[in-house]
Structure 1
Amino acid sequence: MSDKNTSSPEGIGVSLVDGDPSVRRARQLMLRAERYEVRSYATCAALLADPRSRDYPCIILDLEMEEVDGMDLLRKMRASGWRGRALLLDGLNPGNPLLREAERHGDTVLSRNVGGQTLLTAVAASVDRSWAGWNAVG
């Protein structure tokens, strides 16, 4: 018998924010192929405006979009009751204050050009950490 967790991601939601429609669609299809429920958004404002976005334990956020303050978005999401984890896609240098703040909240910063398998692994790890006690209401 294996101790490995083989639970399916089916029914686990991921919010995806990316201003590039082709990248957003490709990632959405990849996540859906792995049986995640995916809600995709072209802007941070669209994510914040959707009350259902608080029901998903993981946000994938491209920080290289114009006029994006990813940490401000996450602060607003957390202030509205969201208790999940974020995968922040950027090309940050080590020592950047964003990295420290992200780590403090259990978020992960990855390269914007992260490969599909690496992104899927990061999503699964973020959900494993946050899903056990997940309750969208708080």
Structure 2
Amino acid sequence: MRERPRLLLVEDDAGVRRSLQLLFRAQGFDVRAYAAGAALLDDPLSGDACCFVADFRLEQSDGIEVLCRLRERGWPGPAILITAFPSAELTERALAQGFAQVLEKPLREHALTGALARLTGVGKRI
């Protein structure tokens, strides 16, 4: 039986993905990390997660599209979108599609870990 809650991460930049994996593991999550949304959607374990964190711009899709596909499959968890290209329009679209929060890159560690703690009850609340 898994003791740590599972978190799904989609980030196409390998260095950022690895850094976020380490941060999320330190916060108490079992991290399933993917370079592409298609890989996450193909993973049978992706439906058993407490939270989803996605980059907006991915090579073959975007984080909003991936969340929409998860929702179509019945996944109900909270989601955070991260982006290096913030705009009011993007934030409005992301929130309308079910993201709980949109965070701007470069990420501030405390903003990200605080958001995760508020949304999941796991990790440090800041």
Q: Out of 41, 62, 69, which is 2:34 matched to?
A: 41
Please list the CA deviations of residues 9-44 of structure 1 after superposition, one character each: whole Å capped at 9, or x if unmatched: x62221111111111111101111121111110100
The question of 1:100 aligning with 2:101 is answered: no
User: How many angstroms apart in 1 are the aligned matches of 2:100 and 2:19?
Assistant: 22
Equivalent-residue separation in structure 2 for 1:74 and 1:34 (angstroms): 23
Bigger-Rg structure (1/2): 1
Q: Report deviation, 1:93.
A: 1.2
Normalization by structure 2: what TM-score?
0.83
How big is the alpha-carbon RMSD for the aligned residues of Structure 1 and Structure 2?
1.6
Please list the CA deviations of residues 48-88 of structure 1 after superposition, one character each: whole Å capped at 9, or x if unmatched.
00121111121110112223232221111011121011111
Any unmatched runs of 5+ in structure 2?
Answer: 122-126
After superposing on structure 2, the runs of 4+ consecutive aligned residues of structure 1 that deviate more than 4 Å are: none
CA contact (8 A) 1:62 1:112 kept: no
AA paired with 1:92?
P
Q: Percent identity?
A: 36
Specify the alignment match of 2:118 in structure 1: 125
Is 1:69 aligned to residue 62 of structure 2?
yes
The unaligned stretches of length 5 or more in structure 1 are 1-9, 129-138
Deviations 1:92-132 (A, max 9, x none): 212x0x4224324252111021122211111112224xxxx
Give the length in aligned residue pairs: 117
